[in-house]
Amino acid sequence: MPTLTGVLETCLYVDDLDRSSCFYEEVFGLSRMMGDDRIRAYGIGERSVLLLFKRGASNFFTEGPSGGTLGPHDGNGPLHFAFAIAAEDLTAWEEHLNRHEIKIETRLHWPRGGTSLYFRDPDNNLGELATPGVWATY
């Protein structure tokens, strides 16, 4: 069997693309790699990409940037994602979220030693900041 080397993209579907872009750019310091009125792409770490799609704007075949077509996709309801953070940055992140008036919904300590802070984005998606020790692979 061929080998998987990681998860490359995480997608969130949002109602207001500009509002969500501002949230992720201002709160998390993300830099936009590309975007238009349907999608925004942000690099996370060395190999991951956060994609923000305007809800309903990709629910049809779309021409790819160099030919070919992309299949329809969409999502609704609150989705979940997690950003990896260093354990020593946990308190700084908690303070950072508080400064931006982002409520920490829950804090969870995992059996392997990791800690997660959970919060909501403007579209009610459940975000997580997770330190190492959450999974056997992290």
The 3-state secondary structure of 79-92, one letter per residue: CEEEEECCHHHHHH
**In the predicted model, what is the mean pLDDT of residues 64-69?**
84
φ and ψ at 101, to 5 degrees? 55, 40
What pLDDT does residue 65 have?
79
State the burial class of residue 21 (Cβ atoms within 10 Å of its Cβ: 0-12, 13-18, 19+).
middle
Closest to 117 (Cα-Cα) out of 108, 70, 11 = 108
Q: Residue 66 pLDDT > 90, yes or no?
A: no
State the pTM of this model. Answer: 0.92
What pLDDT does residue 3 have?
80
What confidence category does residue 88 fall into, taking pLDDT thresholds of 50, 70 and 90?
very high
Residues sharing a CB contact under 8 Å with residue 60, sequence separation 6 or more, in sequence order = 72
Tell me the percentage of the chain whose pLDDT exceeds 70. Answer: 100
Convert the pLDDT of each residue in 24-38 to its tens digit: 999 999 999 999 999
How many helices (H) and strands (E) would you count in the chain? 2, 10
Comparison of pLDDT for 117 and 68, the residue scoring more: 117
Amino acid at 62: T
What pLDDT does residue 105 have?
98
What pLDDT does residue 43 have?
96
**In the predicted model, what is the mean pLDDT of residues 90-98?**
97
All domains in the chain, ordered by first residue = 1-57 (3.30.720.120), 78-138 (3.10.180.10)
Radius of gyration, alpha carbons of the chain = 16
What confidence category does residue 1 fall into, taking pLDDT thresholds of 50, 70 and 90?
very high
What pLDDT does residue 29 have?
96
State the burial class of residue 45 (Cβ atoms within 10 Å of its Cβ: 0-12, 13-18, 19+).
exposed
